[in-house]
Structure 1
Amino acid sequence: MSAILSADDLNDFISPGVACIKPVETLPKQAPKEINAYEVTTEDKIHKENAPPAQISLTDCLACSGCVTSAEAVLVSLQSHAEVLNALDSQLSFDPVDLHGNDGSHQADKKLFIASVSPQVRASLAATYGVSESETGCMLDQLLGGPQGLKSGGRYGNGFTWIVDTNAMREASLVLGADEVIESLLTPDTQGCSSNASPKRPILSSACPGWICYAEKTHPHVLPHLSRLKSPQALTGTLLKTVLSRRLNIRPDQIWHVSIMPCFDKKLEASREELTDIYWRSQPADLPSVQPVRDVDCVITAREVIMLADTRGISFPNLPRQPLASQLAFPDPTLSAFLFPKPRSPRSRVQSPEAGTSGGYLYHILQTQLSLHPNSTLISTRGRNADVVEYTITSPTSPSPIFKAARYYGFRNIQNLVRKLKPVKKSRLPGARSSAAKTGAGMDYAYVEVMACPGGCTNGGGQIKVDDVPLKPETALSQKEWLARIDEAYFSMEDDSEDDHERDTAMTDDNSSDPGDLINGISPSYVKGILEHWSASTGIELQKLVTTSYRKVESDVGKVGGGENERVVELAGKIGGGW
């Protein structure tokens, strides 16, 4: 729930004072203390006027029932560019020779540093420096793993061994999401909300952590509708830690993974207990005293990438715009071809503007449904604003729509969505008529793509803002024009026909898929083959690797015996106003 939501539309911003501390007015009032004019007061009895800043962890924030926006100002210091530099300077990294030996168990004091980057971040940096998205990807690779980047300084000269594009696991999310919807359409909609149950219709996307936090804390009635699939960030973290720990024979806590995302709330997602190794370890009872290891250790944003370079004295725009001269081979050749398609740049297919700026979950599901219903037609209808769009698939052979879905971006629209999903309360008055007919009207969707930020993920709170860019007065841009420039960079990701040919040929040679089964430029059979290989090579059930769970979260703020009221009030005063 990033603060950029408040930049253009205050009505779309959840007040941190009300949402986070729930609110201050509900806290028990302190009884006035009687003052004895004749009492001698010593120094230790004087109440401190300036108490030390409140310290809370990411887990503490997720335990509250309010909006997390107001906590971002505190939490950002716990996952920041400074934390990345501290990690790099804390321990020696594995030598390439050690990793080629496929056994790092004899070097328990070393770490393996890996990074993953989202396409929205590359688009933000590309718009900032006036370069192409592919050139930005090369510059990021040079910063994170090149000789002129982070390796040029620091205590040990450490850098990141592998830099992964999250678009690879985004493809996995899209294929799995389409299958999840198909399964829900073939299954009676009577599931419960247990972690193993399939979501109820309409299935609501779960890749946006701001939306998930909001649902868990304020609208638990929508939890049974949430997609059980992990986000691309979480999937990437799980894949890297499971595969590398087993292939290299090292502990998961020896792998340090930083994710570069457009959103501050991704820091909150990385802190979730459900996204740690205890949920995929084969035998968690073996190490009962070991602390859970996060699949993603740290998350930084586009703005923090610039801070990361500046702190090391590196000029980001002057970094080489060519791919790294060499990169260590990933220990699993099959997964290497999936994570690092050749040629390395460009690393992603062209994004259709119709897919939106948040990964194209709904778009891929619609394309999948169109492929299943030949001669069908897709009709889109704009809602009350540009961030609400309804999609209907019709067929000449069917009098009624065969598939309906929608897109809801921004909290102003999300509130309308969850209101429609709210269960009806039965009236206690005798003879009262039920309002069930009115509640949920128009909610015959099979799927809804929900994102917290108006305009989608390119508008994330961690993206570089127009005010951060030094522009001449005659070239000054409004925030809307600036976002349009970022979107243009996002949708201009180059496509390489030779790359497509090489990839299709590789898929055919591996007998993993038929190049003719492409949907939205993605081969579902190829992706499913990769996922099956991942599960088989790690010995972990695929369901445990790709799914997660959600839970209703309640706060003890203001309750008898719960929380430190004085500390909560102080925290609210210090961070009120958001990031």
Structure 2
Amino acid sequence: MSAILSADDLNDFISPGVACIKPIETLPAQKPEDNLNAYEVTTEDKVAASEPPPPAQISLTDCLACSGCVTSAEAVLVSLQSHSEVLSTLDAHPPLQLPYTVNRGTNGMNGYYKGEGKLFVASVSPQTRASLAAVFAVSEEDAGNMITQLLSGPAGLKAGGTHGSDFTWVVDTNVLREVCLVAAADEVATALAPEALETTYPPGSDGAIDTIPRKPILTSACPGWICYAEKTHPYVLPHLSRLKSPQALTGTLIKSVLSSRYHISPSQIWHVAIMPCFDKKLEASRSELTSTAWLPDHDSSQNPVRDVDCVITARELLHLAAARNISFSSLPRTPLSSSERTPFPDPKLDAFLFSPIRQKPHDAVEGSSGGYLYHILQTYQSQNPGSSISVNRGRNADVVEYSLVRGSDTIVKMARFYGFRNIQNLVRRLKPARISRIPGAKTGGSRRPGGNGAAAGESVKDYAYVEVMACPGGCTNGGGQVKVTEVESVRAVEGVHAVNGDVVSSRPGPKEQKEWLARVDEAYFSGSDTESTDGDGDQSMKDAGETTDEMHRNADIVNGISRTHIQAILSHWAEATGVEKQKLLYTSYRKVESDVGKKKQSDVERVAGLASTLGGGW
């Protein structure tokens, strides 16, 4: 979904031509009539509901119960998370006054202090910053400061609105990305251990949080890919990484720590994530990513609280500013002063989340989707002195195979598959061979096309890890990013003219979009110390032979990230909240089966009622 979605563009009901079971299931129950004659012969017209059914309310859970309607139902869900929701929530609730201490007393459910107001927190992805940096010709760091000034600064959202509400903290998801990278490397090492390879799990446990993923392990940070896998290829569930994405992990940390430290309900903490793609809205709505997964004393009678309440994109962030008559391009490019910043209630986590020392810049070799594969490969490299990395390009730039070799020995193989066209080839290779029912027949799948490595997919099952992302080119090309077709209009609204000789065509096409994506990537990788790129714009990986010995001497630090430090932060987080690490770090996935076309009890009455109320018939 690449367009900005609005609730105004959507109908209140799904038309009969769309195979969606939700409107049928929401028909109101028939009220018994006082003069009902049990022997009276009725007609189809009388079977219909006496009152029009309410508009279909479609949530992600409903959508995942039906594989006949992906985009339309999800479009309804996505539209509910928008810049308008952010503004209406800010206007509906005053900010929770800080400092806020537990000695104020309690008088609510589960012993929580039940006061007025909400605590507003935002998290921002580096891809979003890169998109806005390209639009306004600033660095990613400057774009991040502008976003913070909008959300928390004196000239931002707090200058208007009903209560002057703003966001107390703006968290960089890059920080939690480092936690994800270390955890991903540990997960791969655990999954490839001999005892793990021999472990069997009972039927129906595929994708469970307490199971170890199977080789090849597939990334789970892309919600578009996860939704596709759960609904169409459930046989890949055993291979999915159980690790939460940086967005989800940020939400869990924010709500678990603030709820514990301030002794308030998670529902009093409102978290918005600013992400590069609309599918992140789907991720935020997953039932697995709520307070029920980690809250120790969760009351089953209470509704679960999302770890991420709302997701908006780069383009929607500009809508947010425009709705408050704030010129985004005019916002200060400097960070908030110390007097304007509220310390996080946990000093150790405050230092971790908001360290004045910038995080290590993204390296072009990592890719634009977080660098999972790169970090895991570097972790293996640090443990194998004298090894080097070889790169084998596939049929296109979005399919690449990486091998860690030492002499003639291959230590580990990994691959990158971006874009649904390539993902379809990947899952096809993972499909179990169909067992023939004919006695004596050979067991096996279909014939595979010829070729080598990732280009043909012959060795997909030999990969230890595969980085899978739905968008071609990675996350900087997410559907919520500012597209080349929108740049002119955005700059016109902001009063910004073409910068640095950048002239956007009045009718941009695929070539211009590719050039624009290169500009976004440049902002994403700004400040990194990288080597020259090849003709496809993908940097060739350095031969690691020169640096492996040095890396091996300090194997704790991989690509600038200290494993010991990250593990200490995780232990502190678990201790501070009283929640075990597994519930904080990991999640689960499930097979989604369609009910469309399956005969149900009282089908005639229910369908007849739906047809009549929609003005149709048999």
| Partner amino acid, structure 1, of 2:483 | K
The question of 1:123 aligning with 2:130 is answered yes
Change (3 A) 1:128 1:565: farther
CA positional deviation for 1:108: 1.9
In 1, Cα distance between equivalents of 2:137 and 2:370: 23
Contact map agreement 2:128 2:313 (CA 8 A) in 1: yes
Matching residue of 1:269? 283
CA positional deviation for 1:103: 7.6
The question of 1:442 aligning with 2:459 is answered yes
The question of 1:257 aligning with 2:257 is answered no
In 1, Cα distance between equivalents of 2:59 and 2:432: 34
**Alignment deviations for residues 131-172 of structure 1 (CA, whole Å, 9 cap, x no partner):** 111111110001101111111111100000000000011000
Indicate which of 133, 139, 147 corresponds to 1:140. Answer: 147
CA positional deviation for 1:400: 3.5
Contact map agreement 1:66 1:214 (CA 8 A) in 2: no
Matching residue of 2:118? 111
In 2, Cα distance between equivalents of 1:359 and 1:535: 24
Change (3 A) 1:405 1:295: same
Contact map agreement 1:21 1:568 (CA 8 A) in 2: no
Moved more, 271-280 or 435-444: 435-444
The question of 1:467 aligning with 2:501 is answered no
**Alignment deviations for residues 434-483 of structure 1 (CA, whole Å, 9 cap, x no partner):** 22696884120000000000000001011111111118795436111111
Count of aligned pairs between the two proteins: 512
In 1, Cα distance between equivalents of 2:144 and 2:47: 58
CA positional deviation for 1:432: 1.2
Contact map agreement 1:558 1:565 (CA 8 A) in 2: no
In 1, Cα distance between equivalents of 2:278 and 2:610: 22
Contact map agreement 1:349 1:493 (CA 8 A) in 2: no
| Partner amino acid, structure 1, of 2:316 | E
Indicate which of 347, 359, 373 corresponds to 1:362. Answer: 373
Contact map agreement 2:145 2:332 (CA 8 A) in 1: yes
Matching residue of 2:42? none
In 2, Cα distance between equivalents of 1:424 and 1:203: 19
Contact map agreement 2:68 2:596 (CA 8 A) in 1: no
In 2, Cα distance between equivalents of 1:405 and 1:164: 31
The question of 1:313 aligning with 2:352 is answered no
Matching residue of 2:315? 303
In 2, Cα distance between equivalents of 1:379 and 1:297: 42
**Alignment deviations for residues 196-216 of structure 1 (CA, whole Å, 9 cap, x no partner):** 110000000000000000000
Change (3 A) 1:53 1:306: farther
The question of 1:176 aligning with 2:183 is answered yes
In 1, Cα distance between equivalents of 2:81 and 2:428: 34
Considering only CA atoms, is the larger Rg found in Structure 1 or Structure 2? 2
**What aligned pairs does 1:298-447 form with structure 2 within 5 A after superposition?**
298-325=310-337, 326-343=340-357, 347-396=358-407, 399-435=408-444, 441-443=458-460, 444-447=462-465
| Partner amino acid, structure 2, of 1:406 | A
Contact map agreement 1:103 1:249 (CA 8 A) in 2: no
Change (3 A) 1:166 1:212: same
The question of 1:483 aligning with 2:517 is answered yes
**Alignment deviations for residues 343-382 of structure 1 (CA, whole Å, 9 cap, x no partner):** 4xxx432111110000000000010011011101100101
| Partner amino acid, structure 1, of 2:563 | P
**TM-score of the pair, normalised by structure 2:** 0.77
| Partner amino acid, structure 2, of 1:91 | H
Long gaps (5+) in structure 1: 5-16, 28-42, 496-513, 570-579
| Partner amino acid, structure 1, of 2:405 | T
Matching residue of 1:93? 95
In 1, Cα distance between equivalents of 2:58 and 2:580: 35
**What aligned pairs does 1:280-295 form with structure 2 within 5 A after superposition?**
280-284=294-298, 287-295=299-307
SS in 2 for 1:401: strand
Matching residue of 2:559? 520
In 1, Cα distance between equivalents of 2:272 and 2:247: 10
| Partner amino acid, structure 1, of 2:375 | H
In 2, Cα distance between equivalents of 1:164 and 1:307: 21
Matching residue of 2:581? 542
In 1, Cα distance between equivalents of 2:519 and 2:104: 44
CA positional deviation for 1:537: 1.0
Matching residue of 1:74? 76
Among all aligned residue pairs of Structure 1 and Structure 2, give the percentage whose two residues are the same amino acid. Answer: 58
Matching residue of 1:553? 592
Matching residue of 2:474? 456
| Partner amino acid, structure 2, of 1:111 | K
**Alignment deviations for residues 471-507 of structure 1 (CA, whole Å, 9 cap, x no partner):** 8795436111111110110010569xxxxxxxxxxxx
Contact map agreement 1:280 1:544 (CA 8 A) in 2: yes
Contact map agreement 1:200 1:224 (CA 8 A) in 2: yes
CA positional deviation for 1:61: 2.2
Contact map agreement 1:201 1:445 (CA 8 A) in 2: yes
SS in 1 for 2:81: coil
SS in 2 for 1:423: coil
The question of 1:56 aligning with 2:58 is answered yes
CA positional deviation for 1:86: 1.1
Change (3 A) 1:142 1:239: same
Change (3 A) 1:205 1:66: farther
| Partner amino acid, structure 2, of 1:395 | R
Contact map agreement 1:80 1:300 (CA 8 A) in 2: yes
In 2, Cα distance between equivalents of 1:405 and 1:565: 50
In 1, Cα distance between equivalents of 2:446 and 2:179: 38
SS in 1 for 2:410: coil
SS in 2 for 1:275: coil
In 1, Cα distance between equivalents of 2:133 and 2:104: 37
SS in 2 for 1:559: coil
SS in 2 for 1:98: coil
CA positional deviation for 1:54: 4.7
SS in 1 for 2:192: helix
**Alignment deviations for residues 255-308 of structure 1 (CA, whole Å, 9 cap, x no partner):** 000000001011111111110111111133xx2211001111111111100111
**Alignment deviations for residues 100-153 of structure 1 (CA, whole Å, 9 cap, x no partner):** 989895552221000000000000000011111111111000110111111111
